[in-house]
Amino acid sequence: MATEVVSSDLIKVVALLGAAVVAVPLFRRLGLGSVLGYLAAGLVIGPFGFGWFSDPQSILHVAELGVVMFLFVIGLEMQPSHLWSLRRQIFGLGTLQIAACTIALTGVGLLFGFRLPVAFVGAAGFVLTSTAIVMQLLGERGDIALPRGQKIVSILLFEDLLIVPLLALVAFMSPVIPEHADGSRWLTIGIGVASLAGLTAAGIWLLNPLFRVLAAAKAREVMTAAA
């Protein structure tokens, strides 16, 4: 039984890779980019195409692992000094883009009759961009090192930094039982603040020493595996 499960998972992975091998070169030759090729391959072999994957949740962990590995490799290529030089663009352009788009989309939601919390949460969700997809497109076009590419990267970084506070804000805005409203909201705020503090402390005192040890090995694959 275990062997059959492993074989089934292996066949799914091979099918995914095979579809990508066929679709991506074709779409790049057509000038449509590799990202659209990956999406088209997924549609063709997915439940709305040939139906090779009737349960998308069964391969979700593989997709998530691929995104994590891709973003980690991107992080290895970014120097902290370079990121520090982009701080004005990250917090300036990033704040401007998030604020302007969120306000505009929240207004659209209100015009359609949604309540303010619902309109705001929906707008905030639409504002966030997929870093993996955009970075892939920038890399293919060779725009990452250009000024316009640096501005786009800055906005993406600010959006990534905003995810945790945004999730905490959504939890704070969620409806709660009236008699426990105050306690639940303050508990949510406390959990959010403690989580941010814990992540920051772990990054400074745990991850940095760990990656210094791994970097001393001078093996790129070890750094990628540590993701």
Q: What is the pLDDT of residues 129-188, one digit of tens each?
A: 777 777 777 777 777 778 888 888 888 888 877 877 777 777 777 665 555 555 566 776
Closest CA to 130 of 150, 161, 159: 159
Residue 70: predicted pLDDT: 67
Of the three residues 120, 135, 163, the one that is the final residue of a domain is 163
Stretches in the chain below the pLDDT threshold 50: 1-2
Q: Do 21 and 97 belong to one domain?
A: no
Q: Do 183 and 158 belong to one domain?
A: no
Q: Do 109 and 151 belong to one domain?
A: yes
Residue 220: predicted pLDDT: 66
Q: Do 34 and 94 belong to one domain?
A: no
As for how many domains the chain has, the answer is 3
Q: How many Å apart are CA 155 and CA 128, to the nearest integer?
A: 10
| DSSP 8-state secondary structure symbol assigned to residue 180 | G
Residue 91 domain flag: yes
Residue 181: predicted pLDDT: 52
Residue 70 domain flag: no
Residue 75: predicted pLDDT: 66
Residue 73 domain flag: no
Residue 69 domain flag: no
Residue 155 domain flag: yes
Q: How many Å apart are CA 131 and CA 128, to the nearest integer?
A: 9
Q: Do 141 and 187 belong to one domain?
A: no
Residue 169 domain flag: no
Residue 58: predicted pLDDT: 66
Residue 227 domain flag: yes
Q: Do 87 and 30 belong to one domain?
A: no
Which residues constitute the domain of residue 118? 78-163
Task: Please count the other Cβ atoms lying within 10 Å of the Cβ belonging to residue 99.
Answer: 11
Max intra-chain CA distance, the chain: 62
Q: Do 86 and 59 belong to one domain?
A: no
